[in-house]
C-alpha cells in the first residue's frame, strides 16, 4: 500500500469516527423557567425525546435559568419545582430538622407533562412561563 493510499484511508476512517460521536446529535438548549411570573428559584428540567426516551437530558434549574445539551428532535419536557411545606424532626439531636418537600407545579408540567419542544441543530432558547394552579 502506498503512503498516499494509507493517508487517504486514515483520513476517511477519522472522518467517520468523528461523525459517529454521540455528541453530534446533541444541541444546546437554554432558557428561563418562571412560576406565576417569578423565576423558579430551584428545580429540575428534563428533556425526553419522543422517539427514544432512553436518551433523555436533565439539569438543575437555578435562579430560574437552565442550560443543557439535549438530543435533537421532538421532545417532552418535564419540570419539577419543589417547595418546603414543613420540617421533620431529626432522630439525632445534633442535626437540624429535615425539610418536607412537595411539588409546587401541577402534574401537567411533570408526571403528566403536556410540554413539548423541538430541539433543533445549534443553540436554542426555550422559556417556560408556568402557573402553580
Model pLDDT for residues 11-68, shown as the tens digit of each residue: 334 433 334 445 668 999 999 999 999 999 999 999 999 998 889 999 999 999 999 9
Residue ranges making up the domain that contains 66? 3-130
Cell, residue 133: 394552579
- What percentage of residues in the chain have a pLDDT greater than 90? 74
Mean pLDDT computed over every residue of the chain: 86
| Per-residue pLDDT at 7 exceeds 50 | no
Quick check: helix, strand or coil at residue 6?
A: helix
Cα separation, 70 vs 29, whole angstroms:
7
Tell me whether residue 93 is exposed, middle or buried, using C-beta atoms within 10 angstroms of its C-beta: 0 to 12, 13 to 18, 19 or more: exposed
pLDDT, average across residues 61-86:
97
| CATH number, position 101 | 2.60.40.10
pLDDT at res. 91: 87
73 vs 44: CA distance, rounded Å: 21
State the pLDDT at residue 10.
Answer: 41
C-alpha cell at 128: 417556560
pLDDT band for position 2 (cuts 50, 70, 90): very low
Give dist(CA 105, CA 82) in Å, integer: 8
CA–CA distance, 16 with 26 (Å, rounded to integer) = 17
Question: How many domains would you assign to the chain?
Answer: 1
Question: What integer pLDDT is reported at residue 17 of this predicted model?
Answer: 39
- Of residues 92 and 39, more confidently modeled: 39
Q: Work out the average pLDDT over 82-106.
A: 93
Amino acid at each position: 500500500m502506498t503512503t498516499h493510499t494509507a493517508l487517504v484511508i486514515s483520513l476517511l476512517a477519522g472522518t467517520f469516527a468523528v461523525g459517529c460521536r454521540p455528541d453530534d446529535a446533541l444541541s444546546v438548549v437554554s432558557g428561563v423557567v418562571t412560576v406565576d411570573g417569578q423565576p423558579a428559584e430551584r428545580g429540575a428540567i428534563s428533556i425526553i425525546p419522543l422517539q427514544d426516551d432512553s436518551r433523555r437530558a436533565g439539569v438543575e434549574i437555578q435562579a430560574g435559568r437552565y442550560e443543557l445539551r439535549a438530543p435533537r428532535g421532538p421532545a417532552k419536557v418535564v419540570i419539577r419545582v419543589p417547595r418546603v411545606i414543613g420540617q421533620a424532626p431529626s432522630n439525632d439531636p445534633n442535626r437540624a430538622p429535615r425539610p418536607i418537600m412537595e411539588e409546587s407545579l401541577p402534574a401537567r408540567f411533570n408526571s403528566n407533562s403536556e410540554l413539548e419542544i423541538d430541539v433543533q441543530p445549534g443553540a436554542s432558547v426555550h422559556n417556560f412561563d408556568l402557573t402553580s394552579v
